[in-house]
Chains A and B, each alone.
Chain A
Amino acid sequence: QKEVEQNSGPLSVPEGAIASLNCTYSDRGSQSFFWYRQYSGKSPELIMFIYSNGDKEDGRFTAQLNKASQYVSLLIRDSQPSDSATYLCAVMAYNNNDMRFGAGTRLTVKP
């Protein structure tokens, strides 16, 4: 069974703070890792992806991957109220045909 686990939250941070979102996965053969943002009633929107161990930065977002620990995280710096959403971790299998999502972490950024 290919599992992707996230803390459901809610995670609440004050505006300007760093939000840290975590994800673990069970399929050791997973190759690609994605973070999506989903506003209520909307479709998932790709924020960023990471394939290699280490950190990847894109603007206020940093993804971190540790394949040995089967762990991926997303840091959001200088959090804004507009960042309030559910953040979905997604993992793509080795065959690149099957992307599975975690249940998502609901983030609230308070002004």
Chain B
Amino acid sequence: EPEVTQTPSHQVTQMGQEVILRCVPISNHLYFYWYRQILGQKVEFLVSFYNNEISEKSEIFDDQFSVERPDGSNFTLKIRSTKLEDSAMYFCASRTVRELFFGEGSRLTVL
């Protein structure tokens, strides 16, 4: 069964460093998303991406964040100058019509 894959599963970084989280959406999906879940808290929408551009972003998604689809399969989230409060699980998701399917997540730990 097709699935959304994310790498790395866990990344530890020092405060101020840049991280790139990678996602391979399901192949025939057209809409891509990044969500964040801080431990014990709700799943928070960051950004949606369609037709090679951002279609919607939340108030969390500020200049520290960027997304890119560098080739036909990967979808990346870049976090610049990481802060302690960026420590969270980051989920990539994709969909065709309506149903959203999630990857297993990338856990980011900022020290």
Contacts and interface: CB of A to CB of B under 8 A. Distances in A.
B102 A97 contact: no
Given A97-B55, A98-B48, A43 B104 contact: yes
B45 A100 contact: yes
Q: Decide if the interface of chain B is mainly helix, strand, loop or mixed.
A: strand
B67 to A, nearest CB: 13
Residue of B43, B55, B101, B105 with most partner-chain A CB within 10 A: B43
Contact of A97 (B31, B42, B104): B31
A44 interface: yes
A34 interface: yes
A45 B35 CA distance: 14
A56 to B, nearest CB: 13
B100 to A, nearest CB: 6
Query: In which size bucket is the chain A interface?
Result: 20 to 34
Contacts of B100: 34, 46, 90, 99
Contacts of A46: 99-101
Residue of B35, B100, B104 with most partner-chain A CB within 10 A: B100
A25 interface: no
B48 A97 contact: yes
Interface stretch (A11-19, A65-73, A101-109): A101-109
Interface of B: 31, 33, 35, 41-45, 48, 50, 55-56, 91, 98-105
Interface pairs A-B: 8 shortest CB-CB: A103-B42, A43-B102, A101-B43, A97-B56, A97-B55, A98-B56, A97-B48, A43-B105
